[in-house]
Amino acid sequence: MLATRENLKAVQAVQIVELIFDRFKDALSKGDRIEIRGFGNFVIRNYETRTGRNPKTGESVAVKPKGRPYFKVGKELKDRLIVLNES
């Protein structure tokens, strides 16, 4: 769709999308926040060490601290989704 809409070759459209996602990955790996106005924000949430459970054995295991990507929907997108669900 990007290629057709912007009169690009398919290969160019793929390269553009890959470039954008590569920059997103770079930013998040550095701990930066990504804001896409009208859409939402991506951040890394850090989780502390905790005790988990092995689902096969039921045994308690220590889960190491980790960071995970988190997305928060922006107000404009949230409002558009609410309108779509109401109709």
Q: Do 76 and 41 belong to one domain?
A: yes
How is residue 28 written in tokens? 């998040």
Number of domains in the chain: 2
pLDDT digits (tens, 9 = 90+) for 23-44: 999 999 999 999 999 999 999 9
The whole-number average pLDDT for the span 4-28 is 95
Q: Which residue has the higher pLDDT, 1 or 30?
A: 30
pLDDT digits (tens, 9 = 90+) for 41-74: 999 999 999 999 999 999 999 999 999 999 999 9
Q: Are strands 40-47 and 34-36 parallel, antiparallel or unpaired?
A: antiparallel
pLDDT at 50: 96
Q: Do 46 and 6 belong to one domain?
A: no
Q: Domain containing 84: what range?
A: 33-87
Query: pTM for the full model?
Result: 0.71
